Amino acid sequence: MDNANGQSGSSLRREIDVQQEINLHQGDGPRPISDPRQDIGLRQGICSHQGRGTAPRQVAFYGKGGIGKSTVSQNMAAALASAGRKVMVVGCDPKADCTSMLTGDFLNDTVLEQVRALSRGSRLEEGVDDVVKMGFAGIACIEAGGPEPGVGCAGRGIIAAIDLIKRKGLIDDSLDFVFYDVLGDVVCGGFAMPIRQGFAREIYLVTSGEMMSLYAANNICKGVRRYASSGQARIGGIICNCRNVEREMDLVSGFAKAIGCPVLGVVPRDSLVQKAEAHQKTVVEHAPESSQAQAYRKLAQALEDNEMFVVPDPLSREALRDLVLRYGD
């Protein structure tokens, strides 16, 4: 029976359950885990795989919407998979486009769509094959999805995806890397789930020399620091996805130094990225011999070799503004 707002009883119950889940995670604290290197072990050399048997490295990419984090994470995943790594990418952006260049499809089924199917009497487990898509070079792709426009919390899809991954045991020792592509503008409990639940243990900030991208990166640092007290997540570095603004690298390097984080690498601006995206492919797949593909491979190598994980010291608004003015005037 529909209620006064037109929702079915089962759909309404699901909305209530999800909201209770959000409230629960907003109130609980992070579970303590060890340093990422102690649990997962770093495998040196992108072309010298040392075999299975260790837990996969779980990596989250955060950044301002539109900064290019999905382009960066998908190309890095493609570079790792091309070198023989087993990779899973979990898209945690409500737009559900975090794996489109790996699968060649903007219409991937999402976990949240399967959750909605619960109101029609189906079981979420029955839809696992529909939400796990195999992409370029055998990369397993999952899109969390988001609510229908104007309805509900955007973090619901992430909560549902994390729940599905946990219950179905989709992450196992056969994987080398699990990437979480997370929108960094939103700071509600849902978007912190990969960190709060101990999934993402390495955090990489994708930014540029633009003020608002640095502002978002600084906010993410505040969240990481909040959950770091129990040893859960650490910043692995900053990735500068260049916008060719004046003194860009000076500003990004200055920001990295100020918050106590290394710069993992730099992605140059190149129109080849847009050309590859028009074909729904990564640059690594579309133009593997290009200098841009080589830049992504170099970045993937830097991530695999990385042994520096830090708790950031985020800036105040005033300090961030002064930093930007110092390099921008």
Note the pLDDT tens digit of each residue in 178-201. 999 987 765 565 567 777 766 788
The CA distance from 226 to 217, in Å, is 14
52-56, 101-105, 291-295: which is most confident: 291-295
Specify if 19 maps to a domain: no
Query: Catalytic one among 95, 97, 105, 275?
Result: 95
Which candidate, 255, 246, 264, places its Cα nearest to that of 216? 255
Query: Catalytic one among 97, 130, 185, 270?
Result: 185
Catalytic, 64? Answer yes
Specify if 118 maps to a domain: yes
Give residue 229's pLDDT band: very low, low, confident or very high (50, 70, 90).
confident
Query: Catalytic one among 64, 86, 133, 281?
Result: 64
Specify if 5 maps to a domain: no
Residue 154 has pLDDT above 80, yes or no: no
- Characterise 198 by phi-psi region: left (phi > 0), alpha (psi -120 to 50), beta (else): left
Specify if 3 maps to a domain: no
Domain count, the chain: 1
Catalytic, 95? Answer yes
Which candidate, 59, 326, 62, places its Cα nearest to that of 213? 62
pLDDT of 230? 66
Residue whose structure tokens are 């910043």 = 235
Q: Could you give the 3-state DSSP secondary structure of residue 156?
A: helix
Query: Catalytic one among 69, 86, 133, 281?
Result: 69
Which domain does 120 fall in, by range?
54-328
Handedness of CA 146, 88, 207, 287 (dihedral sign): negative
C-alpha distances out from residue 257 to 129, 239, 246, 329, Å: 44, 13, 19, 20
Handedness of CA 212, 214, 218, 221 (dihedral sign): positive
pLDDT tens-digit map of 111-143: 877 777 765 555 555 556 668 899 999 999 998
Specify if 87 maps to a domain: yes
The CA distance from 2 to 11, in Å, is 9
Residue type, 34: S
Residue 88: both structure tokens together: 């899973």
52-61, 117-126, 173-182, 221-230: which is most confident: 173-182
Specify if 142 maps to a domain: yes
Residue 35 has pLDDT above 70, yes or no: no
Q: What is the CATH number of the domain that holds 105?
A: 3.40.50.300
Which candidate, 195, 201, 81, places its Cα nearest to that of 140? 81
Helices (H) and strands (E) in the chain, counts: 14, 8
Specify if 34 maps to a domain: no
Specify if 176 maps to a domain: yes
- Predicted TM-score (pTM) of the model is 0.80
Q: What is the DSSP string of 23-40?
A: HHHHHSPPPP---HHHHH
